[in-house]
Amino acid sequence: MDKGFKKERFEKLGIKASVADRFRKFCKKMSKSQSMTLLMMLDFFEENGISPAESMGPNMETLEKRISLLIKKRMNGMISIMKDIEKNQTKPTVAMLQSLFEQAEPKDERPLMIEKKRLVFEEENPGKTFSDNSRVSAIEKSKS
């Protein structure tokens, strides 16, 4: 017996024998009683705004559009999740690993060879400024 319809009485519908046989076979496929199958069919048509007399062409197109919109929304959601993971997890982790494995060269505060010659020039010539032209002459003086 159908749940929620136990106390209702049965009504007779006038349908042709061939249609009744076909409907009974369909009910067996659905594993529902005839009343429940007919109720499900009516609910389906009403919920989806489909009429059995109309062609399914335009309604199927709108259904396809709705599905494609839902898929696009889901894809956009997935893309934003992946970007967030990359921004907040992947990039910082890679940066930390790179900093761990990088061999940072110690910063030497020692002056370069040219700077040493500059220091020698300034010691030998107090008060004079060291320019590019004098750098060449300082190097020549140190050679001689």
DSSP code, position 1? -
How does pLDDT run across 113-125, given as a tens digit for each residue?
555 566 666 777 7
pLDDT of 134? 47
Arithmetic mean of pLDDT over the chain: 77
pLDDT of 135? 46
- Nearest-5° Cα angle at 51, 27 to 48: 80
* Higher-scoring residue by pLDDT: 46, 105: 46
Is the pLDDT at 49 greater than 80? The verdict is no
Locus of tokens 């919109």: 69
Length of the chain, in residues: 144
Tokens of 1: 């017996």
- What residue type is 90 in one-letter code? T
What is the DSSP track for 20-86?
Answer: HHHHHHHHHHHTS-HHHHHHHHHHHHHHHT--TTS-SHHHHHHHHHHHHHHHHHHHHHHHHHHHHHI
* Distant-in-sequence contacts of 30-35, Cβ < 8 A, 24+ apart: 33/2, 35/2, 35/5
Is the pLDDT at 138 greater than 90? The verdict is no
pLDDT of 123? 74
pLDDT of 29? 92
Is the pLDDT at 39 greater than 60? The verdict is yes
Locus of tokens 């400024």: 129
Tell whether pTM > 0.75: no
Out of 17-31, 52-66, 77-91, pick the least confident: 52-66
**CA-to-CA distance for 57 and 20, rounded, in angstroms?**
28
* Higher-scoring residue by pLDDT: 39, 105: 39
- Nearest-5° Cα angle at 56, 50 to 62: 80
pLDDT of 126? 75
